Amino acid sequence: MKSFKVLALAASIALTASAIGVTGPARAQDKVIKVASQSPLSGGQSVLGTAISNGTRLGVEQLSAALEGKGYKVEYVGFDDQATPDVGVANAQNIINDSSIYGVIGHLNSGVAIPSSEVYVKADLVMISPANTNVNVTDRGLPNVNRICGRDDKQGAAGASYAATELKVKSVYVLHDKTAYGEGVATAFRDAAQAAGLEVLGFDGTEEKNDFASIITPIVAQSPELIYFGGIYDQAALFFKQARDAGFTGQFLGPDGMDSSDLLRIGGDAVKGMHYTTTAGPASVFPDAAKFVEDYKARFSINPEPYAVESYASTQILLAAIERVVDSGAELTRKAVSEEVRKTADFKTIAGTYTLDANGDPTEATYYVLEVTAATPEEWSSNTLVSSSKAASPLAAMGSMEATPEATPAN
């Protein structure tokens, strides 16, 4: 009976110690840190969405050793937002409900990222985007929303400059897909094109996915030298193909939504020789990305598509921020991680070195122009880089690090 009382007392002491946090080193093994991604893993835009997911997953698998050495188990969890705002928001709610998730890498579509981030901010959950370029992603001044890619106000201007100075066209018809991303970058391109002296013959939006005849006929009748399509490859490639079949002989140009092997898979000969701007640097421009490409192919048995490298880099930033919180001895909370991510400065990744401004933009971003020279979709990464330029974020250009929504007005 006395032995039983002693055992009972020992159990009671152990439970009390656990309740007040006196756990000892072994207890740390039960700690779990999850990194989530959100991107389209199904549907017509899944090629780029899968690249974001895979890049994040590979980052978690390869970069977790330091945290695991400190007693944490680090896991990857992927969510399919289907390139749909409602799905992204529903996923975001599920994400914040899992207290072991400390950060989100995503999204692909700005129209999904913006409403989803409104959910993340309620739980102080940090988001690092490798691909969302709409100005409103960061111009809202949310403390938890960051990106390492450039912005559409600068990307649109880069495209317009290339059209005027290198393609030397005089007239352009601008089309967009009516999404936050597509209309935003098309508007930026249109405004910059007009400022450069190009004649903008039309500016229209369409949600059509299959039969563009009613749109193409009046465009062809005006004989623009260039058609600019602000949107995503799955819709644009079919449009380009039908425009060629309808007799359009001018040039095509688009933003980073074109940067996918499926553009060539769907558009075929119609898109060969066209140009596109992108904020996703070709892996060839990053010396530290060579091993990533090799590891990616070995892990997933496919070539990395655009934004895979940037997703890995985003994961580098997130995990490093978590490590800094842990090493500081402070309590590991979502808010602490979010604040630490925003402090990122001169941080080297496989996609370059990043400093984030107070709005969550990289203080400087690179904008690339590529020509479709790949013979097959499998050779997409061999497309020719014809131009690149750098631009400071609005806050950096102003010499200000104060975050306010008014500091960078939405376009």
Task: Give all strands (DSSP E) within 96-185, no chain letters.
Answer: 101-106, 126-129, 145-147, 171-176
Which stretches within 20-151 are classed as H helix?
A: 46-63, 65-69, 85-97, 110-120, 136-139
d(C-alpha 292, C-alpha 345), whole Å: 23
Within 8 A by CB and 6+ apart from 201, the residues are 171, 172, 173, 219, 222, 224
Contact indicator for 183, 205 with CB cutoff of 8 Å? yes
The CATH number of domain 153-278+367-392, selected from 2.60.40.10, 3.40.50.720, 3.40.50.2300, 3.30.70.3270: 3.40.50.2300
- Residues in Cβ contact with 249 at an 8 Å cutoff, skipping those fewer than 6 apart: none
Confirm whether 30-150+284-362 and 153-278+367-392 share one CATH topology: yes
Output the pLDDT for position 163: 98
What distance in Å separates the CA atoms of residue 133 and residue 147, rounded to the nearest whole number? 8
What is the secondary structure of 320-336 as a DSSP string? Answer: HHHHHHHHHT----HHH
Virtual torsion, Cα 232, 235, 239, 240, nearest 10 deg: 40
> From CA 43, how far away is CA 213, in angstroms rounded?
24
User: What tens-digit pLDDT sequence spans the chain (411 residues)?
Assistant: 334 343 444 444 443 333 333 333 334 445 999 999 999 999 999 999 999 999 999 999 999 999 999 999 999 999 999 999 999 999 999 999 999 999 999 999 999 999 999 999 999 999 999 999 999 999 999 999 999 999 999 999 999 999 999 999 999 999 999 999 999 999 999 999 999 999 999 999 999 999 999 999 999 999 999 999 999 999 999 999 999 999 999 999 999 999 999 999 999 999 999 999 999 999 889 988 999 999 999 999 999 999 999 999 999 999 999 999 999 999 999 999 999 999 999 999 999 999 999 999 999 999 999 999 999 999 999 999 999 999 999 999 998 655 444 433 333
The answer to whether the CB of 273 falls within 8 A of the CB of 249 is no
Looking at every residue in the chain, the average pLDDT score rounds to 91
* pLDDT value of position 363: 98
C-alpha to C-alpha distances, 322 to 136, 284, 318, nearest whole angstrom: 26, 29, 6
The fold of the 30-150+284-362 domain, in CATH, is Rossmann fold (3.40.50)
Q: How many C-beta neighbours within 10 Å does residue 391 have?
A: 18
Separation between Cα atoms, residue 185 and residue 159, nearest integer Å = 10
Side-chain half-sphere exposure of 180, counting CA atoms within 13 A? 19
So what's the pLDDT on residue 405? Answer: 46
Q: Name the DSSP class of 362.
A: B
- Domain positions in the chain are 30-150+284-362, 153-278+367-392
Q: Are 299 and 311 in contact (CB under 8 A)?
A: no
Provide the token pair at 393: 């974020």
